[in-house]
Amino acid sequence: MRLAVLGAGAVGRAVADLAPSYGHAVTALADSSSAVVDPGGVDVGAALARKDAGDPLGESDPGDALAAEYDALVEATPTTLGDAEPGFSHLRTALERDRHVVLANKGPVAERFADLRALEADSAGDVYFEATVGGAIPACATVADLGPERVSAVRGVLNGTANFVLSRMAAEGLDYDHVLAEAQDLGVAEADPSFDVEGTDAALKCVILANLLREADCGSIEELRERALTLSDAAVEGIRDIPGSALDLAAEDGRTVRLVGEATRDGVRVGPRLVPENGTLAVSGTRNIVEIETEHAGGLAVSGRGAGGEETASAVLADVGRLPDPER
């Protein structure tokens, strides 16, 4: 397939790099300031080398990538909230051209799910978004495979930065501010860590999962419009106010604390929870886990690397593999 990749951060770069080994060609690659477009296949290495040297990625405008020849648009620009722009407009343009869209950007799926499905219904293109939840973990695909109508709840540990901070606090008896500074030094936490430590990132992922469950109960886009959730519907509590002493107390009882998100048909809750120290939810580092409660198959757990360019790109490329091949 021919891919147009929007976004040249860790995920977009890795998608463009790995695409040929999955049998796909990159016909356009854009960051926020420029683009390189070539219907015969972009020289990805050269474009990224230019960017690394501080030069523009290419000589085209970013918008030219959207107008290029491609079968699927890979939307890997940063997640934005509210109207989810400019990601949502990118998705709209591609669907209106009857092209497929694969999202790594959580915004359009978490904030405008019904709008997204409405555009998809009017398009010959399909939309997939496995990479928006849990990096390499096939969370959405497993829910789809089981049948979302037979899934009652999805619970998970879905933010690696929060994991790292909580693991270090428990292991070293250090307090939040100290460990956060350390995580920032190591590059595990961003300079502005609020998206991760306040639970926003985990909540967006849970909203996406809850939307998959709710969608299964809807017979129409209108019904989905009433039922679909956004971040503002989620009850979210972060890890900022957890004192080190709380982790010590938990440890005395064989437990620890993780930022756990839960998505059910009733809604989304994210917050610090006591979990057994050796239990399945006590994953560490950037490892994520989702537990899927099903009607007939009991609980299924899927864990793996929840972040990282290559890991997330592998989820994007798995989605590309799910798309109907235009050459068939």
Q: 3-class DSSP state for residue 243?
A: coil
65: annotated binding-site residue? no
Catalytic residue (one of 90, 100, 112, 205): 205
Sequence-separated (6 or more) residues with CB below 8 Å from residue 136: 304, 305, 306, 308, 311, 312, 314, 315
C-beta closer to its own copies: residue 101 or 137: 137
Binding mask 273-302 for its own copies (x = CB under 8 A): -----x-x-------------x-xxxxxxx
What gap in Å lies between CA 46 and CA 35, rounded to an integer?
Answer: 12
Residue of 66, 124, 130, 60 whose CA lies nearest to 93: 66
Q: Give the count of residues interacting with its own copies (CB under 8 A).
A: 34
C-beta closer to its own copies: residue 18 or 250: 18
* Angle (deg, nearest 10), helices 244-252 and 160-172: 70
Contacts of its own copies in 142-161 (CB under 8 A): 142, 145-147, 150
DSSP symbol at 60? B
Min CB(321)–its own copies separation in Å: 7
Min CB(304)–its own copies separation in Å: 4
Min CB(36)–its own copies separation in Å: 23
Is-contact 136 286, C-beta < 8 A? no
Min CB(296)–its own copies separation in Å: 4
C-beta closer to its own copies: residue 29 or 315: 315
Among the candidate windows 37-45, 161-169, 179-187, 305-313, which touches its own copies by CB under 8 A? 305-313
Binding mask 16-55 for its own copies (x = CB under 8 A): --x---x---------------------------------
Which residues of the chain form beta strands (DSSP E)? 2-6, 25-30, 35-37, 72-75, 100-103, 127-128, 151-157, 235-236, 255-264, 267-276, 287-294, 299-305
Catalytic residue numbers? 205
